[in-house]
Structure 1
Amino acid sequence: LLTSMYEQFDVTSRQANLQLIPDIETAAMLQKYLEQLKSLTYEFKAEERKKGIKGTLAIAGPESLPSYIFNLGRFQQKPSLQLVFRDYPGGYISPTDVTGRKFVQKLLKESAVVIIAIDTPAMMELNGRWHEARNKPDEILTLFKTAYQKLEEPKLVILAPVKCETYMQDSASAQKLLTRLQDKYAPLLQFFQEPSRSDKVAVVITPVQTVGCVVFLKIEVENINQPRFYFRKTSFDAQYTPQDSEQLLRYLLRFLLKLHIQDRNWPMFNSLREIFNPDVELKQAVNQFTKGCKHTGGFAILQGQPLLNI
């Protein structure tokens, strides 16, 4: 997700005179992941069970997980803002992984923006038969109930359906995806809407076509309860063509810029004033870039519009 986000940002941000530069370690990891994504378009076939994209691993525990660090600034100028992304293994939200859950709760509390990647085929196919097993919405809700119990600063939550190419073919299918997501995540969305936090949480839906050239094919179940999801290329020579992954950054920067404009005394965002105040051109560049935020065709701002209005 971060790989396609960075690559698309690099293409779409030039018109706004912005650049996003990964640090050395992040650049190396992104290059490795990019090669995996591109090899899928050439080598991935439904029957090749040993090929695919591996999930995040943390063999030595939470502290061994990498940080993905990007520096944002005006094109060919010294970067002004640092963005740090953290990822974690899906197993960390399991009730049996006490250490992992504590780590995730800490991330939720400390992060200004949370991105929830959603396995779209698991949510859409067979009326969402494998949604609970793959996406674990109930466990995610439990974690948010702890982390967002007493919010003192605004948060942005991005629900990002991935592997969604099949369900974004036209406006009707995109609307079906949006409706299904709101249904399957209704308890979480209702939690965000509670009066005690509704004015401090912005919630958006941004589907991301991370590969762009594959569509869902079928599900095969192994060992009774282990589903395998298969995909195929849209054509034999289809190329890696991610779509809309830069929307994550558009909304993220829109949120941060709004917080700067409000100029409230929130400790987490004090640095925003130091970054944007002396650099009017950076503020203008970010503002121009965020005007490209989509809000139709499967995209939506579910709540917190005032936290995003610039």
Structure 2
Amino acid sequence: MSTTIQRVGVVGCGTMGSGIAHVCALAGLDVMVAAASGASLARGRERLTGSFDRALSKGKLTSQEHENALARVSYTSDLEDLADRQLLIESISENEPAKRELFARLDRVLKDPEAVLASNTSSISVLGLARATADGGRVVGMHFFNPVPALPLVEMVSTPLTDEKTAVRAEEFVTGTLGKRIIRSPDRAGFTVNALLIPYLLSAVRMVESGHVSADTVDDAMTLGCSHPMGPLRLADLIGLDVVASIAETLHEEFREPHYAPPPLLRRLVETGMLGRKTGQGFHHYDR
């Protein structure tokens, strides 16, 4: 087996991709972030730099740690530059055809036959992605949670094609190198966390949609009455309403159970670009 993973590639530099790059850089790894265009890379660089800056301002990093972390991250829009990576983590939008196409390309790019190819998907079948490659044995699901630097959990998902040594290597990376906790989840839509979480969020949306209660009332009920750290609608805004809708659609398509169906109100908000915290408006308003 190859040596300990030191060279990591992250494909996609949105909220999740930049968060994954953040924790990898802080762990002392050589991190290369890839995106489809120069504009996407510029936004990703700004997002990641801002994340390190906030950690510095809050005293979570020293000036030297801040400088070292920034220096460990490089950026590219050419997937061929990822050829020497020992681990590639895909973190693009939840679009199965796009992910399949990307996995087929990344599988051809990687030179190390023992390199791990992981997806940060929150709901899509990992087996479907593995079957897009020539070597499904090195494919796993590695689902981080937002915000990545703060939340300790990673869902690890193996498929019938995944080599056990790949699963072990991926788990050792998450627990040993990144210092996070893992749960092994089945390769089914929503895995474990979202299969439980999404129906709860959709139920909160339906309550507001009925007109009987406001979003503030729903969130206050769960934070003040059930000691949840965040109400379901603020949580949906944090995740991104487009992401919530996408996961719900995947769950509903697989299981055909009514409680997984995205409510019309959620669909309308997504269609009008009101996606939550990242756009400044969802079920609540945010100062961007």
| Fold equivalence (TM over 0.5) | no
Q: Which structure shows the higher strand fraction?
A: 1
TM (norm. structure 1) is: 0.31
TM (norm. structure 2) is: 0.33
